[in-house]
Amino acid sequence: MWINTTHRSKEIEIMDDLGMSGEILINTLDQLGNINQWLGGNRVTLTGLEVLLKNHPPEQEIAIVDFGCGHGDMLRKIAKWGKKKGFTFRLMGIDANPTTIDYAIELSTAYPEISYLKQDVLSDAFQHTSYDIGLCTLFLHHFEDEVAFTFIQKILNNARIGVVVNDLHRHPMAYYLFSLLALFIKNKMIRTDGLISILRGFKRMDLESFAQKIEHKSTIHWRWAFRYQWIITKK
């Protein structure tokens, strides 16, 4: 049966339970990090970051915030990449799940440039967080359209340079390819949430609709594996 991807799904992912804890969550975070690495998904964020920093003086400190940071794998990759490029980064990961944040801190002890904050990004307290670049890697699809757009506006207001969104392309082929991959994944949460995530993902027209309402330069590119890279540069 051909899956219908015309409209974004409103089904809730298991991981959206912010009170989740325990070994199943830790195992899920580890495996998701591995899957993103295997499929080249992290590269989408890194190349977007590279675009925003193209003309930035390396010696000037750059504050980057990763929203929905999970266990911090993206930030650790950015820290390594930044050192190779000669940049001076101050990195912060924000996530609302306390277990996730604690695990991220544990894994990042060798990275003094990285800090973490347990915070709901939709809360009023978040409005006072300022930085140079905001990152949304596989995070925006957790929100329905209106909330997602409001969130993008909010992080743009607080960003000095711009924002990089790296999220899933809502496409039948992506759904079926992940279904095949899931045959080799023992973690039930990943199998279930992975398919829901794809159906909650975006089509180009969804992101273009957001971009048309934003008064900043936007570029939207399709990337492997079934990802959209949306780079927003502040004027």
- For 93-124, the pLDDT digits (tens) are 999 999 999 999 999 999 999 999 999 988 87
Banded pLDDT at 128 (limits 50, 70, 90): confident
Output the pLDDT for position 233: 97
Q: Give the domain range for residue 21.
A: 14-233
CA distance 5 to 54: 36
Q: Is the overall model pTM greater than 0.85, yes or no? A: yes
State the total domains in the chain.
1
Structural domain includes residue 1:
no
Asked if residue 41 is part of any domain, the answer here is yes
Report the chain's mean pLDDT, rounded to a whole number: 94
Q: Is 134 a domain residue?
A: yes
Structural domain includes residue 9: no
Burial of 181 (0-12, 13-18, 19+ CB in 10 A): middle
What's the whole-number mean pLDDT along residues 157-177?
Answer: 96
Q: Within a domain: residue 152?
A: yes
Instruction: Judge whether 4 lies within some domain.
Output: no
pLDDT at 123: 83
End-to-end CA distance of the chain: 46
Query: Is the model's pLDDT at 23 over the cut of 80?
Result: yes
Residue 91 pairs in a beta bridge with 64, 114
Range 43-69 average pLDDT: 95
* Residue 5 counted as domain residue: no
Q: How far apart are CA 39 and CA 146, in angstroms?
A: 29
Distance between CA atoms of residues 79 and 86, nearest Å: 10
Does the pLDDT value for residue 148 go beyond 80?
yes
pLDDT at 1 over 80: no
Q: What is the CATH number of the domain that holds 81?
A: 3.40.50.150
Tens digit of pLDDT for each residue in 186-227? 999 999 999 999 999 999 999 999 999 998 999 999 999 999
